Amino acid sequence: MAEYIIGVDLGATKILTGIATPDGNILFKNKVPTLSSRGAADVLDRLCKSIETVVQQAGVDFNQISGIAVATPGPFAYPEAIVRDSPNLEWDYVPIKEELSRRLKRDIIVDKDTNMAVLGEYYFGQNKRYKQMLYITVSTGVGGGIIIDGQLYRGANGGAGEFGHMVISPDGPRCGCGHRGCLEALVSGTAMEREAAELILQGHGRGILACSANGQVGVKEIGIAARKGDSEARDLINRASQYLATGMANLVNIFNPEIIVLGGGVAFGLSDLLIEPTTAFLHKNIFSLHQEILKIELSRLGEDIGLFGCIAAVLHNGKGL
Ligand SMILES: [Zn+2]
């Protein structure tokens, strides 16, 4: 009997669920809003409903599902599998694995979204070519995943990979975590939007504002303005590139990776403007020993990276994870 795997990428704004064959062919996907303000029980109920939807879409039976894995925003305590003090989901303490396993009446795999993403990239994006790999997502926030010697590295209790909270500029803007000048407070979509809004408030940023249909400016409008040659938009992106490269140089000095893969909405949306200056600035700031082996790439898995990670987690659970 054919076997299928279900992956769920639980995000702050949407729940993306997919059903796939073990070779990574995603057959059907379902996307519903997270609506985390309704509370954890409601979100988890809708997550289960979304699993039912893809099972029905694929026309398969529940006993043909060989495994279910869920990617969740952190902080995520491991191995207890508890989401703790999550700013994105506004959850204080949710034993997510236990709650979902009870609802679905079977054991499921849960891990932090960035851990799932780096697994997806390691197994499906790069096909295990690189044993020392870092993944950085630049999106509304900034996070990361670490592969060392071909194994996912979680740290002592699940807290490794918080690249977004590396302090890059101690006097910089306040971060959501409470500290100042974290990478996330400098290069995330939220940070770039804030910078553009400040420019406009000071009577500048006309080129960026002109790209907006409704007066709201986001990463998309900044990108459009920069592509039209607007110098303020270009400066804003170049500053973000320098901060991102500084963070990456710190990581290169610590981990000596073979590859750093970038993903997330900001990295995808601004890839033509961000990747090259970031790489150039990074290369100026690392030792030649690190540089000669290092590759920088944009993930080719797009928004499905979390789903691919879930598939990988089911396939390799207990075998090196
Ligand atoms: Zn922070």
Looking at residue 128, the DSSP 8-state letter turns out to be T
Distance in angstroms (rounded) separating the CA atoms of residues 195 and 251: 25
pLDDT band at 145 (very low <50, low <70, confident <90, very high): very high
Q: How far is the CA of 166 from the centre of ligand 1 (A)?
A: 7
In the chain, the percentage of residues whose pLDDT exceeds 90 is 93
* Residues 6+ away with beta carbon under 8 Å from 46: 15, 32, 35
pLDDT at 192 over 90: yes
Nearest to 187 by CA among 71, 281, 103: 281
pLDDT value of residue 215: 87
57 and 16 in a common domain: yes
167 & 87 share domain: no
Domain membership of residue 235 (yes or no) is yes
- What pLDDT score was predicted for residue 78? 95
CA 144 / ligand 1 centre spacing (Å): 13
CA nearest neighbour of 320 among 77, 117, 150, 160 = 150
pLDDT tens per residue, range 46-58: 999 999 999 999 9
Cα separation, 133 vs 260, whole angstroms:
6
CA 168 to ligand 1 center in whole angstroms: 10
Percentage of the residues of the chain whose pLDDT score is greater than 70? 98
CA of 183 to the centre of ligand 1 (A): 7
Q: How far is the CA of 184 from the centre of ligand 1 (A)?
A: 6
* Same domain for 131 and 75: no
Tell me, yes or no, whether 249 lies in a domain. Answer: yes
In 3-state terms, what secondary structure has residue 176? coil
Mean pLDDT of 198-209: 95
Buried b (16+ CB within 10 A) or exposed e, 87-103: ebbebeebbbbebbbeb
In-domain check, residue 153: yes
Asked if the structure places residue 43 within a domain, the reply is yes
- Structure token pair of residue 295: 């590759």
Residue 31 sits in the same domain as residue 101: yes
User: In this predicted model, what pLDDT tens digit does every residue of 269-306 receive, in sequence order?
Assistant: 999 999 999 999 999 999 999 999 999 999 999 999 99
155 CA distance to ligand 1 middle (Å): 18
Let me know if residue 113 belongs to a domain: no
Structure-block tokens of residue 311: 């598939």
Same domain, 164 and 286: yes
Residue 315: inside a domain, yes or no?
no
| Domain housing 16 | 4-107
Note if the pTM is more than 0.75.
Answer: yes
Centroid of ligand 1 to alpha carbon of 316 (angstroms): 32
6 close to 15: Cβ distance less than 8 angstroms: no
Is the domain of 80 the same as that of 214? no
Q: Are residues 88 and 237 in the same domain?
A: no
Ligand 1 centroid from CA 191, angstroms: 12
Supply 78's token pair. 């491991």
> Are 40 and 173 in a shared domain?
no
- What is the C-alpha end-to-end distance of the chain, expressed in Å? 26
CA distance 198 to 263: 26
Cα 56 to ligand 1 centre (Å): 41
Confidence band for 253, pLDDT divided at 50, 70 and 90: very high
In a domain, 22, yes or no: yes
CA 20 – ligand 1 centroid, Å: 35
Sign of the CA dihedral 206, 212, 214, 216? negative
26 & 73 share domain = yes
Average pLDDT, the chain: 95
pLDDT number for residue 175: 94
Q: How far is the CA of 181 from the centre of ligand 1 (A)?
A: 7
Q: How many domains does the chain have?
A: 2
Same structural domain, 91 and 183: no
Q: Is residue 313 part of a domain?
A: no
Task: Give the CATH number for residue 199.
Answer: 3.30.420.40
Structure tokens at 298: 């944009």
Tell whether the model's pLDDT for residue 320 goes beyond 80.
no
Residues with Cβ–ion distance below 5 A, ligand 1 = 165, 175, 177, 179, 182
Same domain, 154 and 84: no
Mean pLDDT computed over 217-241: 97
Residue 321 has pLDDT above 90, yes or no: no
Tens digits of per-residue pLDDT, 155-186?
999 999 999 999 999 999 999 889 999 999 99
160 and 42 fall within a common domain: no
Tell me the CA–centroid distance for residue 179 and ligand 1, in Å: 5
**In angstroms, what is the span from residue 68 Cα to ligand 1's centroid?**
32
- The pLDDT assigned to 1 comes to 66
